[in-house]
Amino acid sequence: MQIGLIENDPDFLDEVMLTIKTGFHEASLQHWSSGESFLKQEDLSRFEILFIDIMLPGISGIELCARLQELNFPGKIIILTNMNSDEMILQAIKHGAVGYLLKSETTEINSIIETVINGGAILTPTIALRVMIALKEKEQTRPEANLTPRLNEVLDLMVSGNSIAEVADILGIKQGTVNSYAKEIYKKLNVHNRAQLVGKVYRQ
């Protein structure tokens, strides 16, 4: 597994890399101090997971996420930052991040990596609460896609930050059924992931 870290604080970088190495001995770690230096790599697609700080020299972490989205970057992006503004969180998710982690909450970083590898998305309780509040404050716009009542239920739960397993528990159905519903929702709304789904359902 190849993991990339884009972080310009050398002390914090050393700490995070050491933590990851203790949990993933075989992982190949590479790091850069700016988004521009990362974008110069010949094969960006080799990175399965990419941690990005927001406050970087040159282009910001959010701008880097947007560029990677344009390039159809296949890896999983996790924001790792001290910034917890609602707008930053929503912009990161809009531009493809599957996780948003505060630097003060990195003690569980290896379990977070494991979750992401297995297809999950990560919002710590602190960030999840902020996302829920921010989304509720925005005007909700339901795209016209002729969704059934059940699909609308699943859609509401997904954009509220619930995992596939949590949606299944709430609705009392199997995870495989939820996955099928999610695929149908993505197809009807012409999106490819949850980040795009959130961006389409909520007016930015």
Whether residue 140 has pLDDT greater than 70? no
- Identify the three-state secondary structure at position 161: coil
Note the pLDDT of residue 149: 86
**For position 4, what pLDDT does the model report?**
92
Q: At how many degrees (to 10) do helices 194-201 and 149-159 cross?
A: 100
Strand order in the sheet with 2-6: 28-32, 2-6, 49-52, 76-81, 97-102, 122-123
Rounded to 5°, angle at Cα 110 from 105 and 113 = 100
What is the CATH class of 2-130? Answer: alpha beta
User: Is the per-residue pLDDT at 144 higher than 60?
Assistant: no
Residue 92 is inside which H or E element, if any?
helix 86-94
Residue type (1 letter), 175: Q
Q: What pLDDT was estimated at residue 52? A: 94
**Token pair listed for 73:** 């970057």
d(CA 43, CA 70): 15
Q: What is the pLDDT of residues 35-66, one digit of tens each?
A: 999 999 888 889 999 999 988 888 999 899 98
134 band by pLDDT with thresholds 50, 70 and 90: low
Report, at the CATH architecture level, how domain 138-201 is classified.
Answer: Orthogonal Bundle (1.10)
Mean pLDDT across 141-168: 77
Q: What is the DSSP string of 45-83?
A: GG-SEEEE-SS-SSS-HHHHHHHHHHTT--SEEEEEES-
Q: What would the mean pLDDT of 115-143 be, rounded to a whole number? A: 62
Q: Map out the domains of the chain as residue ranges.
A: 2-130, 138-201
Q: What is the mean pLDDT of residues 154-163?
A: 77
At residue 37, the pLDDT reads 92
**pLDDT one-digit tens code per residue, 74-88:** 888 988 888 877 677
The separation between CA 176 and the C-alpha centre of its own chain, rounded to angstroms, equals: 22
Per residue in 164-191, pLDDT tens? 888 888 888 998 999 999 899 888 888 8
Residue 180: what residue type?
S
